[in-house]
């Protein structure tokens, strides 16, 4: 979880003056032998 949160923090662009920001992060998933039937979506 720690690694995931650090990656999301690096994907964010925050502007303290405006009190807002944006976050864009797209997960890239590699499966073994293309088998997606055993993949659990909550792992993303």
pLDDT(43) > 60: no
Average pLDDT on 23-30 reads: 76
- Distance from C-alpha of 20 to C-alpha of 33, rounded to nearest angstrom: 42
Q: Could you tell me the residue ranges of all domains in the chain?
A: 1-43
DSSP 8-state assignment for residue 32: S
Average pLDDT on 26-35 reads: 73
- Interval 5-26: pLDDT, tens: 777 777 777 777 777 788 777 7
Can you point out the beta strands (E) in the chain?
Answer: 12-15, 20-23
Q: What is the pLDDT confidence band of residue 42, given thresholds at 50, 70 and 90?
A: low
Tell me the pTM.
0.35
Residue 26: half-sphere exposure toward Cβ, Cα within 13 Å: 1
């Amino acid at each position: 979880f720690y690694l995931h949160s650090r990656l999301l923090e690096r994907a964010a662009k925050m502007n303290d003056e405006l009190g807002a920001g944006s976050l864009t992060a797209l997960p890239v998933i590699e499966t073994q032998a293309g088998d997606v039937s055993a993949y659990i979506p909550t792992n993303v």
